[in-house]
């Protein structure tokens, strides 16, 4: 099947070309984002392949249907950037790549925690300056601390396993309980209790209407002073302005962000020669206890391999039987 792959970066091309030898799809790479103007570049391709920074709303879906698009193949697990109910209604199939590497994201969250609580970036910068003083670098042990996990799905469960290995007490909140987390001794509580009792909180729930700004002023007020908060889920699960207020008062002692609510205008591009126009993001960068990565948590060899293979398999399955097992249906 002809697949128009939008927003294709060199590493996408490398991995898709490598694995397409087994699938024989006709891959048409496009360097641009998908929007109403660039949609015409995919004319004649029944399948369109996009990443998380290509939002698809109802208006665009209608144009896709008029153009003959049959399948939107997401190169991601998250699908909050696509209007799934409208796609279902308009008869355009949408398929994602679930659980392509929960280890990548869970390990990245762990890396952020260690970097922050042991002040590794500050220490590295100091050593490069010839400053070997330990003043201001004191950290704390993870062993024996309470870790709160918001969303104990695929990634949250792997993260729970890792934190269990460090000897942490585990708390979780999720409308659907994970038997594996329970076996690890994780105790399910509501969000306010999790906030009150945790030393570290890591977010692993999807962005849904009910999880938007789940972490707001009220939730932050419940947290322990000096909390270490990590968000590798989606930017809008937290209210960024509330985070800044929490950092200013010291309520938030450490903040690790791999995602940002306005990331579509920033992440995945090189703006090093431009002036940063986002004042909220610029404010976040002024705190020495904030660590930010640009939606990089998923980015491992293993994850990119699985994304390429599963996306190509999704298209093959759709081409063969007119639907595929990773198809997304609105509840
Ligand atoms: P999953 O669907 O396996 O798990 C999500 C869990 O969140 C489910 O158990 C669900 O019941 C739970 N949940 C739903 N509403 C909740 C609520 N109100 N409070 C607490 N928990 C709630 O998804 P998976 O694979 O674990 O991924 C989680 C999220 O991680 C994705 O939706 C995506 O946003 C993000 N992600 C980020 C990546 C990155 O590179 N930073 C890469 C991949 C995923």
pLDDT in tens, 37-48: 999 999 999 999
Ligand 1 atom closest to the CA of 232, numbered from 1: 41
Residues 58/64/65/68 CA torsion (nearest 10 deg): -170
Structure tokens at 137: 């670098």
Span 173-196, average pLDDT: 98
Length of the chain: 331
How far is the centre of ligand 1, averaged over its atoms, from the C-alpha of 234 (Å)? 9
Residue identifier of the C-alpha nearest atom 15 of ligand 1:
205
* Residue 33 contacts residue 54 (beta carbons within 8 Å): yes
- pLDDT classification of 331: cutoffs 50, 70, 90: confident
Structure tokens at 328: 């997304």
Topology classification of domain 102-292? Rossmann fold (3.40.50)
Burial of 213 (0-12, 13-18, 19+ CB in 10 A): middle
* Residue 107 contacts residue 302 (beta carbons within 8 Å): no
Q: Same fold for the domain at 2-100+300-321 and the one at 102-292?
A: yes
Is 234 tagged catalytic?
A: yes
- Ligand 1 pocket, mutate which of 100, 111, 155, 328 (most atoms under 8 A from CB): 155
pLDDT score of 103: 97
Q: Where are the domains of the chain?
A: 2-100+300-321, 102-292
Q: Give the predicted TM-score (pTM) of the model.
A: 0.93
How far is the centre of ligand 1, averaged over its atoms, from the C-alpha of 205 (Å)? 3
pLDDT score of 179: 98
Q: Does residue 84 surpass a pLDDT of 90?
A: yes
- Ligand 1 pocket, mutate which of 153, 235, 237 (most atoms under 8 A from CB): 153
Q: Please, what's the b/e burial string for 56-79 (b: 16 or more CB within 10 A of its CB; e: otherwise)?
A: beeebbeebeeeebbbbbbbbbbb
Write out pLDDT tens, residues 236-260: 999 999 999 999 999 999 999 999 9
How far is the centre of ligand 1, averaged over its atoms, from the C-alpha of 260 (Å)? 15
How far is the centre of ligand 1, averaged over its atoms, from the C-alpha of 109 (Å)? 13
Structure tokens at 120: 């590794």
Where residue 167 falls (left for φ over 0; alpha for ψ -120 to 50; beta otherwise) is: left
Residue identifier of the C-alpha nearest atom 37 of ligand 1:
233
Alpha helical stretches, state H, 130-252: 154-165, 179-183, 191-197, 217-222, 240-249
Q: Does residue 99 surpass a pLDDT of 90?
A: no
Which percentage of the chain shows pLDDT scores above 90? 96
The torsion angles phi and psi of 119, rounded to 5 degrees, stand at: 50, 45
Query: Cβ < 6 Å from ligand 1: which residues?
Result: 77-78, 99, 102, 105, 150-156, 173-176, 204-208, 210-211, 232-234, 258-259, 295, 297-298
How far is the centre of ligand 1, averaged over its atoms, from the C-alpha of 208 (Å)? 10
Q: Does residue 160 surpass a pLDDT of 90?
A: yes
Span 12-26, average pLDDT: 97
Is 295 tagged catalytic?
A: yes
- 95/72 Cα distance (integer angstroms): 6
Give the right CATH number for 2-100+300-321 from 3.40.50.10470, 3.40.50.720, 3.40.50.2300, 3.40.50.300.
3.40.50.720
Alpha helical stretches, state H, the chain: 10-20, 58-67, 84-90, 102-117, 120-128, 154-165, 179-183, 191-197, 217-222, 240-249, 279-284, 301-321
- Ligand 1 pocket, mutate which of 204, 298, 300 (most atoms under 8 A from CB): 204
Write out pLDDT tens, residues 303-317: 999 999 999 999 999
Q: Does residue 264 surpass a pLDDT of 90?
A: no
Residue among 28, 81, 234, 261 flagged as catalytic: 234
How far is the centre of ligand 1, averaged over its atoms, from the C-alpha of 51 (Å)? 17
Half-sphere exposure of 74 (CA within 13 A, CB side): 27
């Amino acid at each position: 099947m002809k697949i128009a792959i939008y927003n294709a970066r060199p590493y996408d091309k490398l991995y898709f070309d490598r694995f397409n030898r087994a699938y024989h799809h006709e891959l048409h790479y496009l360097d641009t984002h998908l929007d109403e103007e660039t949609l015409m570049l995919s004319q004649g391709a029944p399948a369109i392949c996009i990443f998380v920074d290509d939002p698809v709303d109802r208006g665009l879906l209608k144009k896709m249907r008029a153009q003959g698009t049959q399948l939107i193949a997401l190169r991601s697990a998250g699908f909050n950037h696509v209007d799934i109910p409208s796609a279902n209604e308009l008869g355009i199939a949408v398929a994602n790549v679930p659980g392509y590497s929960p280890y990548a994201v869970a390990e990245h969250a762990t890396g952020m925690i260690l970097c922050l609580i042991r002040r590794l970036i500050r220490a590295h910068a100091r050593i490069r300056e010839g400053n070997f003083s330990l003043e201001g670098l004191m950290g704390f042990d993870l062993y024996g601390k309470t870790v709160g996990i918001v969303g104990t799905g695929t990634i949250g469960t792997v993260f729970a396993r890792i934190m269990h290995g460090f000897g942490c007490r585990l708390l979780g909140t999720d409308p659907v309980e994970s038997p594996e987390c329970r076996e690890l001794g994780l105790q399910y509580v509501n969000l306010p209790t999790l906030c009150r009792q945790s030393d570290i909180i890591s977010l692993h729930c999807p962005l849904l209407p009910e999880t938007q700004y789940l972490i707001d002023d009220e939730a932050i007020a419940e947290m322990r002073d000096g909390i270490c908060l990590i968000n590798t889920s989606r930017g809008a699960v937290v209210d960024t302005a509330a985070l800044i207020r929490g950092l200013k008062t010291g309520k938030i002692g450490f903040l690790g962000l791999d995602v940002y609510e306005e990331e579509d205008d920033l992440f995945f591009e090189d703006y090093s020669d431009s002036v940063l126009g986002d004042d909220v993001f610029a404010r976040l960068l002024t705190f020495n206890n904030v660590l930010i990565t640009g939606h990089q948590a998923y980015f491992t060899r293993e994850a990119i391999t699985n994304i390429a293979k599963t996306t190509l398999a999704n298209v093959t399955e759709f081409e063969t039987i007119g639907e595929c097992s990773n198809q997304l249906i609105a509840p």
